[in-house]
Amino acid sequence: MLDIRQRLFLIVSIAVLLVLAIVLSILGIKKYNDTTSVKLDIIQQESGSGEEQPQMYDASLNLQPVIGDPQQLGSVLANEDETERFVRQRSIDFVERFLSYSNQSRNTHIRDVLPLVTPEMASWIETQSQHYSDIYQGSTTQVIVSRIENVTDQTASVHVEAQQHLESKDIDERVYHVGRVELVETNGVWYVDGLYWE
C-alpha cells in the first residue's frame, strides 16, 4: 500500500506528463502548419509569378458550360416572391427525388414524391417503379438550373435543367435533361401535375 507521499508524487508525475504531452502536441501541429505554409510558398515561387498557372479540372465531370449572365440570374432570383420561390423549390425537390433511385431501394423515390403530386400524376408515377435486382442500377439527379416560366393563382410552370448520373455494372455516365414542371394549386397547396422533357 502506498503512503500519502507516494500517492502525491504519483499524481503530480501523471499531471506533469499530461501537460508535457499537450504542449508537445501543440508545438508539433504548429511546426507542421508552418512547414506546409513554407512548402506552398516555395511551390508558388518556383512556378514563377508572371506565368499563367495551368487550369486544374476533373475531366470525368463532363459538365456543360453555363450560358447567360450570372448577374441577371441573381437579380431575377432576388425579385422572387414567396409563391414563386416555393413553386420553384417544389419543382426542384420533385425532379431530384423522382429521378434519384436505385433498383435496390424498393421504390422509395416513388413513395417520397407521392405527397408532392396530384392524384392523376400519382397514377402515372406508380407505373414508373423499378424492379428489384441483386445487380445494382441507379441514378442520382441534381437540378442545375430552375426558373419560373409563369405563375397564376391556380397554375405554375417551372423551367428545369437537370444532370442525371446513371450507374450500373456496365454504365457510368451523366446525361442532361431540359424540360418543365407543371404545378396546380389546390386548397392552398401546390402540387406537381406534370413533368415534360424536351
Tens digits of residue pLDDT in 39-49:
555 555 555 55
The reported pTM is 0.60
Least confident of 14-18, 41-45, 180-184: 41-45
pLDDT greater at residue 79 or residue 172: 172
| pLDDT reading at 56 higher than 50 | no
What pLDDT is stored for residue 157 in this prediction? 96
What pLDDT is stored for residue 10 in this prediction? 86
- Mean residue pLDDT across the chain: 82
Q: What is the dihedral of CA 150, 183, 155, 188, to 10 degrees?
A: -130
DSSP 8-state code for residue 144: E
Q: Average pLDDT in the 16-40 region?
A: 77
| pLDDT reading at 189 higher than 50 | yes
pLDDT tens digits for range 65-124: 555 555 555 545 557 788 999 999 999 999 999 999 988 888 898 999 999 999 999 999
Q: What fold characterizes domain 82-197?
A: Nuclear Transport Factor 2; Chain: A, (3.10.450)
What pLDDT is stored for residue 98 in this prediction? 93
Q: Which positions ≥6 away from 72 have C-beta within 8 Å? A: none
What pLDDT is stored for residue 154 in this prediction? 94
Domain boundaries, the chain: 1-33, 82-197
Lookup: cell for 188:
392552398
